[in-house]
C-alpha cells in the first residue's frame, strides 16, 4: 500500500515537473526569426527568452490572449505568432501609456500593426477595468515588465483591484503570466523600477489567483538588485521573475 502511494507520489511529481518545464516552443522559435519581424525585437530576445516564457505559461495556438500594457507591442507580436491565425491577441494600453514620451508607444504600436501585418491582433486603447471585453472570455493574459509600475505607483490595494479585473476577464483555468524585474527588501524598489516577487505572489493570491509555478529562466545572478533597471550594467538583463498565476477552474 505504502509502495503504491510512493509510486503515485513519484509519478505526480514527474508529471508536475514535466508540466512546469519550459522547453521553448519549437515552432515559435522559428516564427520569431521571420524576416518581417523587426531587428530591434530580435535583439531583445536573448534577454527575454519569449518562446521559453510562453511555453512555461502554456500559451498555445488558437488561444485568445491579452497583452496587458502592451506599450510598443514587443510581446503583442510574439503572442500573435504563438497563437496563430486561429487565435486572437488583445493589445491593451491605457491612455497614459500611449501618450508617454510624445506618444512613442502609440507610434510604435501603430507602426507594428500597420497594413494589417498582424491579422489576429486587436488594439484595446482602454484602461482596466472597463476594456469592453466579455468577462471570462480570455484564455491567458501576460504583463511584461509593468506590474511593478502598477504596484509602485498605486500601492498594494489598487494592484489587487487591478489583478482582480484581470481575473474577471480570464476563463476559469485561465493563466496570468507576470514577468518583472526582481527587487530587494533593503532597496527603494519604486526608484529602481523593480518589485519583490514575494509582493507579486501576495498580490496575485489576494486577487484570487493560485500560483501555478514560477520560473528561474530569466534570473541573472550578476544583477545585485540595487541598480535602476535602466543602468547600462543591467539594462535588458536584470534578474527577473516569471510567475504563472492561475484562475481556479471552479
Ligand atoms: C519595459 S516597457 C514594457 C512594455 C511592454 N509590456 C513590453 O513587454 O514590451 C515599460 C513601458 O511602460 C510604460 N510606462 C510605465 N510606467 C508608466 C507611466 N507611469 N506612465 C506612462 N507610461 C509608463 C513606458 O512607456 C514603457 O514603455
Q: What is the pTM of this model?
A: 0.90
Cell numbers found for residue 79: 503572442
190 alpha carbon to ligand 1 midpoint, in Å? 14
pLDDT in tens, the chain (250 residues): 444 444 444 444 344 433 444 566 679 999 999 999 999 999 999 999 999 999 999 999 999 999 999 999 999 999 999 999 999 999 999 999 999 999 999 999 999 999 999 999 999 999 999 999 999 999 999 999 999 999 999 999 999 999 999 999 999 999 999 999 999 999 999 999 999 999 999 999 999 999 999 999 999 999 999 999 999 999 999 999 999 999 999 7
Q: 208: phi > 0 → left, psi -120 to 50 → alpha, else beta; which?
A: left
177 alpha carbon to ligand 1 midpoint, in Å? 16
**What residue's CA is closest to ligand 1, atom 22?**
97
181: in domain: yes
* Domain encompassing residue 101: 22-246
**How do 138-144 and 170-181 pair as beta strands?**
parallel
1: in domain: no
**What residue's CA is closest to ligand 1, atom 21?**
97
Answer whether 190 contacts ligand 1 (Cβ < 6 A): no
| Integer Cα distance of 66 and 43 in angstroms | 23
3: in domain: no
Answer whether 199 contacts ligand 1 (Cβ < 6 A): no
pLDDT at 22: 54
Q: Tell me which of 146, 159, 181 to substitute to probe ligand 1's pocket, judged by most ligand atoms within 8 Å of the beta carbon.
A: 146
8 A C-beta contact, residue 204 and residue 245: yes
Cell numbers found for residue 32: 520569431
Q: Which atom of ligand 1 is nearest to the CA of 72?
A: 9
8 A C-beta contact, residue 37 and residue 117: no
4: in domain: no
Kindly list the strands in the beta sheet with 88-92, ordered across the sheet, starting from the edge strand earlier in the chain: 121-124, 88-92, 64-68, 138-144, 170-181, 240-246, 210-215
pLDDT at 135: 97
pLDDT at 13: 39
pLDDT at 23: 62
Cβ-defined contacts of 238-241 (< 8 Å, 24+): 238/181, 238/182, 238/194, 239/181, 239/182, 240/145, 240/179, 240/180, 240/181, 240/182, 241/178, 241/179, 241/180, 241/182, 241/197, 241/200, 241/214, 241/215
Among 242, 24, 62, 49, which residue's Cα sits nearest to residue 139?
62
DSSP states along 157-220: HHHHHHHHHHHHHEEEEEEEEEEEEB--TTS-HHHHT-B-HHHHHHHHHHTT-EEEEEE-TT--
Say how many domains are in the chain. 1
**What residue's CA is closest to ligand 1, atom 8?**
144
14: in domain: no
30: in domain: yes
Answer whether 90 contacts ligand 1 (Cβ < 6 A): no
pLDDT at 11: 43
Residue 98 is part of a domain; what is its CATH number? 3.40.50.150
242: in domain: yes
**How do 170-181 and 210-215 pair as beta strands?**
unpaired
8 A C-beta contact, residue 212 and residue 249: no
Answer whether 91 contacts ligand 1 (Cβ < 6 A): no
**What residue's CA is closest to ligand 1, atom 19?**
149
Answer whether 149 contacts ligand 1 (Cβ < 6 A): yes
Cell numbers found for residue 99: 501618450
215: in domain: yes
Amino acid at each position: 500500500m505504502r509502495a503504491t502511494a510512493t509510486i503515485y507520489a513519484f509519478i505526480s511529481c514527474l508529471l508536475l515537473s514535466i508540466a512546469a518545464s519550459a522547453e521553448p516552443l519549437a515552432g515559435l522559435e522559428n516564427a520569431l526569426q521571420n524576416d518581417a519581424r523587426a531587428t530591434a525585437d530580435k535583439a531583445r530576445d536573448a534577454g527575454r527568452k519569449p518562446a521559453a516564457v510562453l511555453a512555461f505559461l502554456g500559451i498555445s495556438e488558437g488561444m485568445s490572449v491579452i497583452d496587458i500594457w502592451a506599450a510598443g507591442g514587443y510581446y503583442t507580436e510574439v503572442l500573435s505568432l504563438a497563437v496563430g491565425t486561429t487565435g486572437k491577441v488583445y493589445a491593451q494600453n491605457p491612455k497614459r501609456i500611449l501618450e508617454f514620451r510624445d506618444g512613442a508607444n502609440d507610434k510604435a504600436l501603430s507602426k507594428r500593426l500597420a497594413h494589417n501585418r498582424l491579422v489576429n491582433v486587436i488594439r484595446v486603447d482602454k484602461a482596466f477595468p472597463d476594456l469592453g471585453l466579455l468577462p471570462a472570455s480570455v484564455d491567458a493574459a501576460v504583463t511584461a515588465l509593468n506590474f511593478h509600475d502598477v504596484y509602485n505607483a498605486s500601492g498594494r490595494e489598487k494592484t489587487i483591484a487591478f489583478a482582480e479585473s484581470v481575473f474577471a476577464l480570464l476563463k476559469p483555468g485561465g493563466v496570468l503570466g507576470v514577468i518583472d524585474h526582481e527587487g530587494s527588501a533593503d532597496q527603494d524598489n519604486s526608484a529602481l523600477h523593480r518589485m519583490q516577487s514575494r509582493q507579486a505572489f501576495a498580490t496575485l493570491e489576494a486577487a484570487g489567483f493560485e500560483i501555478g509555478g514560477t520560473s528561474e529562466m530569466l534570473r541573472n545572478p550578476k544583477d545585485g538588485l540595487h541598480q535602476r533597471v535602466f543602468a547600462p550594467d543591467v539594462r535588458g538583463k536584470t534578474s527577473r521573475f516569471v510567475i504563472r498565476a492561475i484562475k481556479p477552474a471552479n
